[in-house]
Amino acid sequence: MTKEINEFHLLVTPHQNKKLPIYRWYHFNHSFSRDLVWYLIDKFDLNCGNIILDPFCGSGTTLLAAQEKGISAIGIDILPLSVFISNAKLQNYNIDKIKYKIEELNKLLSNHNKNTTLIPEFKILHKVFDPDVLSDIFVVKNWIQKMEDKKLKYFFFTALLSITEKVAFARKDGGFLRIVPDKKIPDFKETLFIKINEMLSDIEHSNSQNNTKSKAQIGDARKICFRSSSFDAVITSPPYLNRHDYTRVYILELAIAFLKSEGEIKRLRYKTLRSHVEAKKVFVADGYKEPIKLKEIIEKLEKETLPNKHVIPMIKGYFEDMYLVLKEVARVLKQRGFAAFVIGDVRYGGFLVPVSDILVEIGDSLGLTHQETLVARLRGNSPQQMGKFGKIPAKESIVIWKKQ
Ligand X SMILES: C[S@@+](CC[C@H](N)C(=O)[O-])C[C@H]1O[C@@H](n2cnc3c(N)ncnc32)[C@H](O)[C@@H]1O
Q: Give the Cα separation of 40 and 400 in Å (integer).
A: 10
Report if residue 58 touches ligand X, rule: CB under 6 A.
Answer: yes
- Among residues 61, 135, 191, 373, the one that binds ligand X under rule CB under 6 A: 61
Contact with ligand X (CB under 6 A) among 77, 202, 245, 357: 77
What is the distance between the alpha carbons of residues 70 and 208, in angstroms, rounded to a whole number? 8
Q: Is position 167 an interface residue for ligand X (rule: CB under 6 A)?
A: no
CA distance 78 to 57: 9
Whole-angstrom distance, CA of residue 184 vs CA of residue 195? 18
Rounded CA separation 273/243 (Å): 10
DSSP 257: I
Q: By CB under 6 A, tell whether 67 contacts ligand X.
A: no
Residue 222 binds ligand X, judged by CB under 6 A = yes
170 binds ligand X (CB under 6 A): no
Query: What's the rounded Cα separation, in Å, for the pair 393 and 303?
Result: 22
Out of 31, 67, 164, 191, name the contact with ligand X by CB under 6 A: 31
Nearer to ligand X among residue 53 and residue 297 (C-beta): 53
Q: CB neighbours (10 Å) of residue 217?
A: 13
Smallest distance, ligand X to C-beta of residue 397, A: 14
Task: Look at residue 149 and give its three-state secondary structure.
Answer: coil
Q: Which stretch binds ligand X (CB under 6 A): 30-38, 93-101, 186-194, 259-267?
A: 30-38
Of residues 56 and 231, the one with the C-beta less far from ligand X: 56
Among 59, 72, 164, 191, binds ligand X (CB under 6 A): 59
Q: Does 221 contact ligand X by CB under 6 A?
A: yes
H/E run at residue 92: none
At residue 307, φ and ψ (nearest 5 deg) are -65, -20
Number of residues interacting with ligand X: please give it, by CB under 6 A. 22
Is there binding between residue 82 and ligand X (CB under 6 A)? yes
Q: Which of 8, 25, 28, 138 lies at the binding interface for ligand X (CB under 6 A)?
A: 28
Contact between 76 and ligand X by CB under 6 A: the answer reads yes
**Smaller CB separation from ligand X, 77 or 357:** 77
Provide, rounded to whole angstroms, the least separation between the CB of residue 372 and ligand X. Answer: 20
Q: How far is the CB of 384 from ligand X (least distance, A)?
A: 28
* Shortest reach from residue 295's CB to ligand X, in Å: 24
Q: Which of 8, 12, 26, 30 binds ligand X (CB under 6 A)?
A: 30
Which residue sits closest to ligand X, CB atoms considered?
58
Does 84 interact with ligand X (rule: CB under 6 A)?
no
Nearest distance from residue 352's CB to ligand X, in Å?
A: 20
Please check whether residue 389 is in contact with residue 404, taking contact to mean a CB–CB distance below 8 angstroms: no
The partner residues of 341 in beta bridges, in order of sequence, read 236, 399
Residues 285, 290, 294, 295, Cα dihedral to 10°? 140
**What whole-number distance in Å separates Cα of residue 135 and Cα of residue 152?**
21
Stretch that binds ligand X, among 64-72, 218-226, 298-306, 308-316 (CB under 6 A): 218-226
Q: Which of residues 261-320 bind ligand X (CB under 6 A)?
A: 272-273
Cα–Cα distance for residue pair 132/139, rounded to 1 Å: 10
Element at 329 (helix H, strand E):
helix 311-332
Of the residues 87, 98, 192, 239, which one makes contact with ligand X according to CB under 6 A: 239
- At 62, which amino acid appears? T
Q: Which of 375, 356, 376, 342 is nearest to 9 (CA)?
A: 376
Check residue 191 for interaction with ligand X (CB under 6 A).
no
Q: Running DSSP on this structure, what letter comes out for residue 223?
A: B
Which listed range, 58-66, 125-133, 300-308, 389-397, lies at the site for ligand X (CB under 6 A)? 58-66
Q: Report the residue from 8, 44, 56, 157 that binds ligand X according to the rule CB under 6 A.
A: 56
For the stretch 274-294, what's the b/e string if a residue is b when 16 or more beta carbons lie within 10 angstroms of its beta carbon?
bbbeebeebeebeebeebebb
Closest to ligand X by CB, 78 vs 315, is 78
Q: Which stretch binds ligand X (CB under 6 A): 2-10, 27-35, 284-292, 306-314?
A: 27-35
DSSP string covering 49-85 = T-EEEETT-TTTHHHHHHHHTT-EEEEEES-HHHHHH
End-to-end CA distance of the chain: 17
Site membership for ligand X, residue 124 (CB under 6 A): no
* Residues near ligand X, by CB under 6 A: 28, 30-32, 55-56, 58-59, 61, 76-79, 82, 220-222, 237, 239, 246, 272-273
